[in-house]
Chains A and B, each alone.
Chain A
């Protein structure tokens, strides 16, 4: 049981949420969504809900939890599979059920005529009285907000935030925490680096809170541990700090890195991947990288529809794979785990995502 603190119209209210199953992540968000779902005897038109996150991992966790928690009939639909899944959405929401539509970013393609399916979906969404929960890639969602103002179709938007270091540590460390050993088996680059930080200022008497950004210099690893700069740092802390840096706090990416680094109950620093360096990319390369990040696992044909030039697309994919930024699994392309944070940072700087 957890308590949700909500602030609406300036009033703080407390709600109690009882979950029947274990929720590994985002408990409060699951409770918030459940609070919006229409109960028996409630004649309101249920609000359409959008759940957004940078990767599918956290969305899937939340969607699975919701499926288990909702006591009435639930229909799960995932759009990431078949590219030619649905010609139109006429009569799609006829059944009396709660619909969970996952990976809705696959409903559009960035090409002329490529948004017809999405328009049809949105139109059928608002012309029925069913409870519909949708999940979206965060970068696709932001793009669609700029392009279509998609937020107008969804009164409730739940953003699954990136995890902080303590949250990430708590999530990754399993119950058999004591059995896992952490080893620093390489010489760490302990040179100085510039770090951007925010100084949070809170003036309670004026009801004013703001942050002042500043730049500081610190040692790359040792000084992450307070009062331990230039002394022996705790290996566990250093490894988690590095995982957090590589994953940018995204739980799915962090979990992959964590599991790949573990061999026989031991996690070695040397097994953590090196962050990818972004080479000099041209506009088409950046566009392809953006598409892959926005869809997460697009197939080749989907990319080709957007780029409209096979030779250019192949050249871009080759360059991006060579740089270790993306990887191929069968016919699907996705951003590599070690490249995730660099790619997100780079594309944000280029204003392709935000």
Chain B
């Protein structure tokens, strides 16, 4: 590497115009930073999977480490180019900031949004979040965008500025355990008290659920004109089991309720009288799998 350039004697460089070493140095610097942050991120991703309880906490560190790495690399690049004095540094950042602020307003807004997300932590990597029409697990919080993996394995990339300025709900907020709300609907002629007990027992029988004083469960009944709603709220051991748990709950609960003559309501729009005595043929009118309320 051309030492004269790095030591700040820019006169020679200006005269000779030989910036090859400097450019190579900066390219190498950012390539190295990219590889290092990727490797550390990858390592922490794999490492976090070894832990059930602390997985999300470990993943939280990934974006923070990436930002630190890139800040250090930028500082090295900056000093290699200019080797500025204190006054020059202040002046540079002032002008740089103003220039970027005008020219790259949206990009900066996204970057600032990313930094705010990292420090304010409205959600973290590994959380299940609902934003606008999207719901999924946060796989990455980058400087410009945040990525979600939806239940159908689609990757959704959302600019940080949008997340920063809109409401986001986090289902587990840094914990692997997450409350899952599942609704079942039964007709008005069915014994809803017995149905409530059976749903409770189904929750207790699920392999995916934690029941303890710290993670209580509840089963609530709400009566509507043509049906009763049974709302089951319970914590799954890992938010990744959300849909397995719901599927297990539906299957076991309906099997148990079928044996006790508890039936789903008829479809909306069909008169109850027409179907009296013909229960057991109709499925749930509404499957509300995800309810963040």
Chain A residues at the B interface, C-beta cutoff of 8 Å:
110-115, 142-143, 145-147, 283-284, 286-287, 306-308, 349-352, 354
Contacts and interface: CB of A to CB of B under 8 A. Distances in A.
B210 A114 contact: no
A145 B214 CA distance: 11
B237 A352 contact: yes
Nearest to A353: B212
27 contacts: A110-B205, A111-B205, A112-B205, A112-B253, A113-B198, A113-B256, A115-B204, A145-B213, A146-B212, A146-B213, A146-B215, A147-B200, A147-B217, A283-B207, A283-B208, A283-B237, A286-B207, A287-B207, A306-B205, A307-B207, A350-B53, A350-B237, A351-B53, A351-B212, A351-B215, A352-B237, A354-B212
Contacts of B244: 283
A286 B52 CA distance: 12
A293 to B, nearest CB: 14
B53 A112 contact: no
A112 B256 contact: yes
B255 A112 contact: yes
Contacts of A110: 204-205
Interface in B239-259: 241, 244, 252-253, 255-256, 259
Contacts of A308: 252
B211 interface: yes
Interface in B217-274: 217, 237-238, 241, 244, 252-253, 255-256, 259
B177 interface: yes
Nearest to B54: A349
Contacts of B207: 283-284, 286-287, 307
Contacts of B256: 112-113
B291 interface: no
Nearest to A354: B212
A114 B212 contact: no
A351 B53 CA distance: 9
B254 to A, nearest CB: 10
Interface residues of B, number: 27
A349 B204 CA distance: 19
B216 interface: yes
Nearest to B49: A280
Contacts of B18: none
Given A143-B212, A147-B200, 19 more contacts: A110-B205, A111-B252, A112-B198, A112-B205, A112-B256, A113-B201, A113-B256, A115-B201, A146-B211, A147-B204, A283-B237, A283-B241, A287-B207, A307-B207, A350-B52, A350-B53, A351-B210, A352-B237, A354-B212
Contacts of B211: 143, 146-147
Contacts of B198: 112-113
A163 to B, nearest CB: 25
A142 B53 CA distance: 20
A145 B202 CA distance: 17
Contacts of B210: 351-352
Between A112, A145, A308, the greatest number of chain B beta carbons within 10 A of the residue's beta carbon is seen for A112
A284 B206 CA distance: 9
A111 B255 CA distance: 11
Contacts of A283: 207-208, 237-238, 241, 244
A326 B183 CA distance: 37
A35 B52 CA distance: 44
Contacts of A286: 207
A354 B214 CA distance: 10
Contacts of B252: 111-112, 308
A114 B206 CA distance: 13
Nearest to A312: B207
B201 A111 contact: yes
A98 B173 CA distance: 51
Nearest to A291: B207
A350 B210 CA distance: 9
Given A146-B212, A283-B241, A351-B215, A114 B205 contact: yes
